[in-house]
């Protein structure tokens, strides 16, 4: 099949040149967006200091070792600060260009890749994924202690919206999910959070031999659906997922520190990963992969192992400034600095309710790669209707509020998530600082 980049090279090459010239001319700041005066952007400087207080307090309480916070509004950066330590054992302070394991914040990036291929006419979202990945043809579903034939097949939209029936083994909070978790574990299913042999195609082969949690399209269940879509990108484009994301997304957007696997010169910029201790403090995660029930993770999977497994659901590392460029492109309707990756209509498709009457939580829906604030009053938080967001298991979070033209990014490294709900409090602290 014709490689996707061959159909776009004549368009993209001049845009790369434009970005390079702008960088040489110093017209782009280090974070890629201009710095703005917080007061002129509608923030109270005094209230914005509560973000600092929140994060420094969490560091003093040994909930986290450090963090980077970024707030942008109207296309300008109001706050970009680093706090605490990136690595306490090595006395390495946190910096605004510190690299973080972003885990599930990889999912919107892979979803973007899928929608770029959709725009290029390679498939319909209603197509069964078995058209490209035959392992998923004629799926089975769990039925009590047995399995049964599914009535329908998994579509590409089911995968984008987590309504496919594919799960995660570390989410085993119901009897059905517990049963499926055991099957996933026994089949050697990787969640992409630790060093993994082989290729993402191996995941499709193994999942195709296992039952689904439910009839495709009938429920919402977070899981490995986006990893399967990473395999779809590889099949359609003729490239590895890493190659496609590099050439079609990261280079065009100037995301110079976003990768699946870090080169040696960047490993020292990767923040250490921390986990709680029995005395209430935190310690660094080191050594071999850690197993916590069905959850398997490591701190080294982005620079160790065979480097052949591209987890479209969890594998990327990035910086707050890099991820801002990605989000600002969405907020701009699919374009940034003269580089257009999507049409405004496709951005609208991705950031609206894609699961109908199904629910993720009270007032919360899911689009094509993002959680969507459908009814903020039921969510009991300050998001505007239509805000889209997500986070990562290693304690990262972002949100985009189109009504306020607002982006917030919080990055730290702790597993499991912090008991003080620092990410949620960062969202609240951001909104309370807006006075105009």
Residues 6+ apart with CB under 8 A from 359: 220, 365
Task: Write down how long the chain is.
Answer: 436
DSSP 373: E
DSSP 264: G
Q: Please, are residues 61 and 55 in contact by the beta-carbon 8 Å criterion?
A: no
DSSP 397: E
Report residue 102 as tokens: 């972003």
Residue closest to 274 by CA, chosen among 91, 58, 418: 418
Residues 6+ apart with CB under 8 A from 20: none
Residues 6+ apart with CB under 8 A from 286: 299
- Select which of 65, 82, 104, 225 is catalytic: 104
Cis peptide before 416 (omega within 30 of 0): yes
Residues 6+ apart with CB under 8 A from 135: 204, 205, 207, 208, 209
Cα torsion at 120, 202, 247, 78 (round to 10°)?
100
Give catalytic status of residue 65 as yes or no.
no
For 347, phi and psi rounded to 5 degrees? -60, -40
Q: Please state, in angstroms and rounded to a whole number, the distance separating the CA atoms of residues 103 and 250.
A: 17
Q: Give the residue numbers annotated as catalytic, written as ranges.
A: 104
């Amino acid at each position: 099949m014709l490689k996707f980049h061959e159909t776009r090279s004549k368009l993209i090459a001049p845009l790369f040149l434009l970005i390079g010239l702008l960088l040489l001319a110093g017209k782009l700041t280090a974070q890629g967006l201009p710095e703005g005066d917080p007061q002129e952007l509608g923030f109270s400087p005094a209230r914005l200091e509560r973000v600092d207080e929140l994060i420094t307090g969490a560091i003093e309480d040994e909930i986290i070792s450090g963090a980077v916070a970024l707030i942008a509004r109207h296309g300008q950066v109001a706050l970009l600060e680093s706090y605490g330590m990136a690595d306490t054992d090595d006395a390495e302070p946190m910096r605004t260009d510190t690299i973080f394991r972003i885990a599930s914040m990889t999912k919107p990036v892979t979803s973007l890749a899928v929608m770029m291929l959709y725009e290029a006419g390679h498939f319909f979202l209603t197509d069964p994924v078995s058209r490209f990945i035959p392992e998923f043809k004629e799926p089975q579903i769990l039925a009590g202690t047995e399995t049964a034939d599914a009535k329908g097949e998994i579509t590409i939209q089911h995968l984008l919206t987590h309504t496919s029936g594919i799960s995660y083994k570390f989410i085993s909070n119901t009897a059905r999910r517990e049963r499926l978790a055991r099957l996933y574990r026994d089949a050697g299913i990787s969640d992409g959070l630790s060093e993994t042999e082989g290729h993402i195609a191996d995941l499709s082969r193994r999942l195709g031999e296992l039952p689904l949690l439910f009839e495709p399209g009938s429920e919402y269940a977070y899981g490995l659906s986006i990893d399967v879509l990473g395999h779809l990108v590889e099949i359609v484009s003729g490239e590895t997922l890493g190659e496609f994301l590099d050439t079609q997304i990261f280079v065009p957007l100037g995301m110079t520190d976003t990768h699946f696997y870090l080169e040696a010169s960047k490993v020292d910029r990767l923040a250490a990963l921390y986990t709680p201790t029995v005395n209430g403090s935190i310690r660094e995660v080191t050594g071999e992969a850690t197993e916590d029930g069905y959850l398997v993770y490591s701190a080294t999977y982005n620079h160790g192992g065979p480097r052949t497994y591209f987890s479209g659901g969890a594998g990327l590392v990035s910086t707050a400034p890099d991820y801002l460029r990605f989000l600002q492109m969405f907020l701009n309707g699919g374009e940034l600095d003269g580089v257009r990756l999507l049409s405004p209509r496709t951005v609208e498709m991705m950031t609206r309710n894609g699961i109908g009457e199904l629910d993720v939580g009270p007032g919360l829906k899911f689009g094509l790669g993002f959680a969507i604030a459908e009814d903020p009053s039921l969510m009991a938080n300050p998001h505007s209707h239509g805000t889209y967001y997500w986070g990562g298991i290693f304690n990262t979070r972002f949100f985009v509020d189109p009504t306020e033209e607002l982006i917030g990014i919080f990055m730290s490294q702790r597993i499991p998530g912090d008991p003080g709900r620092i990410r949620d409090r960062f969202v609240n602290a951001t909104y309370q600082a807006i006075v105009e």
